[in-house]
């Protein structure tokens, strides 16, 4: 069993998710009675392999389990993949995978490029790192889910405006339901992002003297994302009861995903002290990307 678990690689679940995405996309081309079972089967297999991979890392690492940027991205991808599988089982005619699985694959790609170095391991830092990471995970997943609902709202509204018939094999949720999801996820994303940023400030304080400077790219990009989400949520609240308010919320949800994607890309290529082990900092080692 140990040999089996250690042999599971990222390729295993990425390939499964990719096949499931291909099955979702094939709905646009032809109808099939067995496609749903194949799609769910590959998604489930990918989620099982993904779970075993994370579990193996949690028990085999000598540091605090799942405490690196690499693991954080994989955890976010795991949550979205689990959400996709649940939606595929409960709403088999809703093409949510066309929107959600590319985000899952993108997060796995970000994990491959991210650092595997664990964060600081002092007792106080461990507690606040878990709080900080949990809030960041929550707002990132909320942004992704809100963007999916926003894209579906825009597609559905556009088809209704043009009086086009429904696509064969697809059943979009109602505009009211999609609008509710976009509004709620924007609110959750905004305030969990604020909580994540504040907890990051506390974490930075308890790590002294190895604290991250305010000019660090990670701090700057996270501050920009938090500011964007707070403003976006404020705009949606102000326009919710007005004509076109749901459309504004949908576009802001999609834009929020683009802002988050830009932030992640910036974090992968910019040098930073965020997440650099204390010993490395004290030894004067060069900065690394998160």
What tens digit of pLDDT does each residue of 63-109 get?
Answer: 556 667 888 889 999 999 999 999 888 888 888 888 999 999 999 99
The residues near 154 (Cβ < 8 Å, ≥ 6 apart) are: 247, 250, 251, 254
What pLDDT was estimated at residue 119? Answer: 64
Tell me the domain boundaries of the chain. 1-115, 119-290
- The model carries a pTM of 0.80
| Three-state secondary structure call for residue 219 | helix
Do residues 84 and 257 make contact, with C-beta atoms less than 8 angstroms apart?
A: no
Q: What secondary structure letter does DSSP report for 162?
A: T
Q: Which of 54-68, 90-104, 207-221 has the highest mean pLDDT?
A: 90-104
Cα-based distances in Å from 225 to 171, 251, 258: 33, 16, 10
Strand partners, 288: 272
Closest CA to 225 of 258, 187, 178: 258
- C-alpha of 32 from chain center: 31
- Closest by CA to 139, choosing from 197, 78, 66, is 197
Q: How far apart are CA 202 and CA 205, in angstroms?
A: 5
Distances (CA, A) of 72 to 19, 165, 258: 24, 42, 19
Q: Dump pLDDT digits (tens) for 16-34.
A: 999 999 988 888 777 777 8
Q: Supply 73's token pair.
A: 């991205």
Outline where DSSP puts E strands in the chain.
none
Tell me the CA distances in angstroms from 202 to 4, 128, 138, 168, 188, one per residue in order: 41, 7, 18, 52, 21
Residue 283 makes CB contacts below 8 A (sequence gap 6+) with none
The predicted pLDDT at position 154 comes to 92
- 207 has a pLDDT exceeding 50: yes
Max avg pLDDT among 18-27, 54-63, 166-175, 248-257: 248-257
pLDDT of residue 287: 42
- For 244-277, b where at least 16 C-beta lie within 10 A, e where not — what string? ebbbbbbbbbbebbebbbebbebbbebebbbbbb
> Is residue 45 within 8 Å of 14, Cβ to Cβ?
no
Spatial CA neighbour of 49 closest among 14, 83, 2, 85: 14
Portion of the chain with pLDDT greater than 70, in percent = 79
Map residue 288 onto helix, strand or coil.
strand
Tokens of 180: 């509710």
């Amino acid at each position: 069993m140990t040999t089996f678990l250690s042999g599971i690689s990222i390729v295993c679940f990425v390939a499964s998710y990719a096949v499931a995405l291909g099955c979702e996309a094939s709905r646009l081309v032809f109808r099939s009675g067995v496609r749903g079972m194949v799609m769910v089967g590959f998604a489930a297999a990918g989620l099982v392999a993904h779970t075993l991979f994370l579990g193996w890392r949690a028990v085999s690492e000598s540091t605090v389990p799942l405490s690196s940027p690499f693991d954080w991205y994989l955890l976010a991808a795991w949550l979205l993949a689990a959400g996709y599988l649940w939606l595929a089982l409960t709403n088999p005619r809703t093409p949510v995978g066309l929107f959600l699985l590319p985000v899952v694959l993108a997060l796995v790609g970000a994990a491959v490029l991210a650092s595997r170095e664990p964060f600081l391991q002092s007792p106080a830092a461990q507690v606040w790192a878990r709080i900080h990471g949990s809030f960041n995970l929550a707002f990132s997943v909320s942004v992704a889910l809100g963007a999916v609902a926003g894209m579906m709202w825009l597609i559905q509204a556009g088809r209704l405006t043009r009086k086009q018939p429904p696509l064969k094999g697809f059943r979009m949720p109602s505009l009211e339901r999609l609008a509710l999801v976009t509004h709620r996820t924007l609110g959750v994303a905004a305030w969990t992002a604020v909580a994540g940023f504040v907890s990051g400030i506390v974490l930075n304080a308890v790590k002294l003297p190895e604290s991250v400077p305010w000019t660090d790219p990670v701090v700057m990009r996270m501050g920009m994302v938090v500011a964007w989400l707070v403003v976006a949520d404020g705009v949606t609240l102000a326009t919710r009861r007005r004509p076109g308010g749901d459309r504004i919320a949908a576009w802001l949800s999609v834009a929020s995903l683009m802002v988050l994607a830009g932030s992640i890309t910036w974090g992968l290529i910019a040098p930073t002290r965020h997440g650099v082990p204390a010993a490395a900092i004290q030894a004067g080692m060069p900065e690394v990307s998160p």
